[in-house]
Amino acid sequence: RAMVQVAIMGYGTIGSGVAEILAQNAEQIKHGCGQDVALKYVLDLRDFPGSPVEDRIVHDFSVIEKDPEVSVVVETMGGLNPAYPFVKASLLAGKHVVTSNKALVAAYGTELLAIAREKNVNFFFEASVGGGIPIIRPLYRCLKGEKILEITGILNGTTNFILTKMDKEGASFEAVLKEAQDLGYAERNPEADVEGYDTCRKIAILTAMASGKEVNYEDISTEGITKITDVDFKYADKLGTSVKLFGTSRLDGDEVHAWVAPVMIGKDHPLYAVNDVFNGIMVKGNMLGTAMFYGSGAGKLPTASAVVADIMEAVENADHNVPLGWSSERLVIADQKTSVHRYFVRVEGTGTELEQAAAAAFGGAELVKLDSLNDEFALLTGEMSEAAYAECAAAFEKTAKIRQRIRAEF
Ligand code: HSE
């Protein structure tokens, strides 16, 4: 039987994981796609003497680009440069490309998908969202007859680890962030995780998959977890809730709202039990109802496992383009001000008069008080648009100070 030759670009955590799986699971892979899958090149700036791939290291991309034997190129470099020009050139050279790079897919997915279609090859990116969790393929295969009403995910392991620790141990954000960095969970730039940018790119990709239209990730209102404090979790504990960083996109009538924000949720929420570095994605379809996808959203072997499955998908569909992804038509994301939520609000000060004024300011709200706090109280509003909330809050802040505002879904 024929043999498939693969090149890996970027021998970092994920790239080396892909090489490891290709070697270790060679039998399963051969059985699964009917051919041997061999690693021909590894492109990297470094040499890796003594590693299992030392004889296959190349430093010049054109070696891969020009080798007609290489039919599948794996991009695990991360970042946009040179990942973008290398991926584009690989597709233009008629090679299938598999990537784990959400930044690349979020920024250039539309163009790369179009080139793949035109060249009758495939551009697969299962590992770019949710690491090892199958979510991209379920969206374009298993759920393709569904009208997707909502996708809500805990899509970032670092922030989920931080929020879980804050919840379970009462620790401060700063202390847990430091621990996450020491454990090596946080990426080089912790800002991308804690400010919600990573989640934003992932929910942009999922929203584009669900709608079939291009999503500009800059249109997605994005709030991270840096303002969540240990005090918020004291209230959450009393309320029997937790706070999670959600990436959500939701059909509201004809409009699509999409946002990234910390959300206070109750124990009955399907994503409540998604803790530590795990990711979870809830998908609601108009016929399906709710489906949940859960697992390791990051890490070497889980992410590499999704890459290897994409390589096999490319091998099995070597002579045609599998229809997936989105067109160049831009999805209009509705103004976040019209998005409707409840809000958990912490107010500075005490006294019955202030409490009544606060409740009234938000059109009637439930009071939440903690015995351990003697200089503030909280309230839970009813459902209102973000614009209505902002108006109520601005009016109320003429007389008192709001310390915190977290969207609530319970
Ligand atoms: N920084 C990401 C996370 C890695 O923490 O989930 C996977 O994209």
- 157 CA from centroid of ligand 1 (Å): 5
pLDDT of residue 259: 98
pTM: 0.97
Secondary structure tally for the chain: helices H, strands E: 14, 17
| Rounded alpha-carbon distances, angstroms, from residue 71 to 8, 83, 395 | 11, 17, 62
Residue 276 region, left (φ>0) first, then alpha (ψ -120 to 50), else beta? left
- 87 CA from centroid of ligand 1 (Å): 22
Contact present, 293 and 244 (Cβ < 8 Å):
no
Query: 202 an active-site residue?
Result: yes
Residue 198 CB–ligand 1 contact under 6 Å: yes
Pocket test for ligand 1, best of 128, 177, 189, 193 (most atoms within 8 A of CB): 193
Residue 195 CB–ligand 1 contact under 6 Å: no
Two structure tokens written together for 153: 């995910």
The one-character DSSP state at 222 is: E
| Rounded alpha-carbon distances, angstroms, from residue 306 to 68, 168, 303, 319 | 25, 31, 5, 21
CA separation for the pair 211, 144 (Å, rounded): 11
Nearby residues of 226 by Cβ (< 8 Å), 6 or more positions away: 173, 194, 195
Residue bearing the CA closest to ligand 1, atom 4: 298
Q: Which amino acid is at 384?
A: M
Residue closest to 364 by CA, chosen among 382, 348, 376, 350 = 382
Tens-binned pLDDT, residue by residue, of the chain (410 aa): 579 999 999 999 999 999 999 999 999 999 999 999 999 999 999 999 999 999 999 999 999 999 999 999 999 999 999 999 999 999 999 999 999 999 999 999 999 999 999 999 999 999 999 999 999 999 999 999 999 999 999 999 999 999 999 999 999 999 999 998 888 777 667 999 999 999 999 999 999 999 999 999 999 999 999 999 999 999 999 999 999 999 999 999 999 999 999 999 999 999 999 999 999 999 999 999 999 999 999 889 999 999 999 999 999 999 999 999 999 999 999 999 999 999 999 999 999 999 999 999 999 999 999 999 999 999 999 999 999 999 999 999 999 999 999 999 99
Residue 15 CB–ligand 1 contact under 6 Å: no
DSSP strands (E only) in 44-143: 57-58, 70-75, 96-99, 123-124
Residue bearing the CA closest to ligand 1, atom 1: 187
pLDDT of residue 273: 97
